[in-house]
Amino acid sequence: MAIIDGKQISTDIKNEVKKEVIELLDKGIQPCLAVILVGENPASQVYVRNKKRACEYCGIKSLSYELPESTSEEELLALIDSLNLDPDCNGILVQLPLPKHIDEDKVLLRIKPEKDVDGFHPYNVGLLSIGKAQLKACTPAGCIELIKRSGVDITGKKCVVVGRSNIVGKPVGMLLLAENGTVITCHSKTKDLAEVCRQADILVAAIGKPKFITGDMVSDGVVVIDVGINRMDDGKLCGDVDFESVEPKASHITPVPGGVGPMTIAMLMQNCLIACKKQKAM
């Protein structure tokens, strides 16, 4: 049994990015990410701060736009338009959720796909679904890295994804398929969910319900990736997997916190580098 150290793996990835950024700096190129936050959602403020910190660590320049809650959709779209045109800005990230008066889909569509480092633009989702992804959604890509860097070969494995959201469940299923996994995506209407989960060689939990996956729902030797981040009544974080009962059966398992969480930002850094190199034709 091995606990997958997402913190260590994310640091390894950031160090790899940093190394490549140093090489680009030698050529007079510095990747640059624009981070846009609208309003004062405290969780978003923490995420944005961590993203800017990671940029600093990797040598990526970050442009920060912290806009008031009252910002109109037009104003936000105008900012995106100007960043789309700015050749010195390689990546644009609009922190979600946006205030209710702003149409999120419209905003995400406005970001030039080449600068969409979140991988949320339908064009990038489309490339992912045909196995030709350039900028992959960060959390799903992070799940794949955790599996691969733990020495697990996905090819031919039965992969069960629990959850079908557009930001995790669906894209993680497509990435596992691209890695030659045999993929089943389960959701709230799935019949005999426990029985399906027990067939998994690799189980990805992205449901949003604390400790939903229990020990009786997995088979011995399973690889478990827990995407859930749930705040318990006692203030502690827990995943979608009941770690206590699942861990003894798993060959590899991610903890919460310290599993998938840190990977999202590491993959964002990787996407910034990929976007920059592509735009500069490096």
Known catalytic residues? 51, 95, 118
Q: Which is nearer to ligand GUN, 102 or 160 (CB)?
A: 102
Which residue lies nearest ligand GUN, judged by its C-beta? 96
CA distances (Å), 246 to each of 1, 28, 180, in order?
11, 50, 25
CA distances (Å), 208 to each of 45, 161, 181, in order?
21, 13, 24
Nearest by Cα to 35 from 27, 47, 24, 26: 47
Report yes or no: 223 and 257 within 8 Å, Cβ to Cβ.
Answer: no
Q: Which is nearer to ligand GUN, 14 or 252 (CB)?
A: 14
At closest approach, how far in Å is the CB of 264 from ligand GUN?
Answer: 5
At closest approach, how far in Å is the CB of 18 from ligand GUN?
Answer: 21
At closest approach, how far in Å is the CB of 95 from ligand GUN?
Answer: 5
- Residue 267 CB neighbour total at 10 angstroms: 28
Q: How far is CA 19 from the centre of its chain?
A: 22
Contacts (Cβ under 8 Å, ≥6 apart) of 18: 57, 58, 59
Length of the chain: 282
Q: Which is nearer to ligand GUN, 93 or 197 (CB)?
A: 93
At closest approach, how far in Å is the CB of 263 from ligand GUN?
Answer: 11
Chain residues binding ligand GUN by CB under 6 A are: 93-96, 118, 138, 264
Report yes or no: 77 and 18 within 8 Å, Cβ to Cβ.
Answer: no
Residue 19's φ and ψ, nearest 5 degrees, are -60, -45
At closest approach, how far in Å is the CB of 168 from ligand GUN?
Answer: 9
- Residue 54 CB neighbour total at 10 angstroms: 22
Please report, for the chain, how many H helices and E strands are present, in that order: 10, 11
- Residue 87 CB neighbour total at 10 angstroms: 8
Q: Which is nearer to ligand GUN, 96 or 152 (CB)?
A: 96
Q: Which is nearer to ligand GUN, 178 or 268 (CB)?
A: 268
- Residue 28 CB neighbour total at 10 angstroms: 7
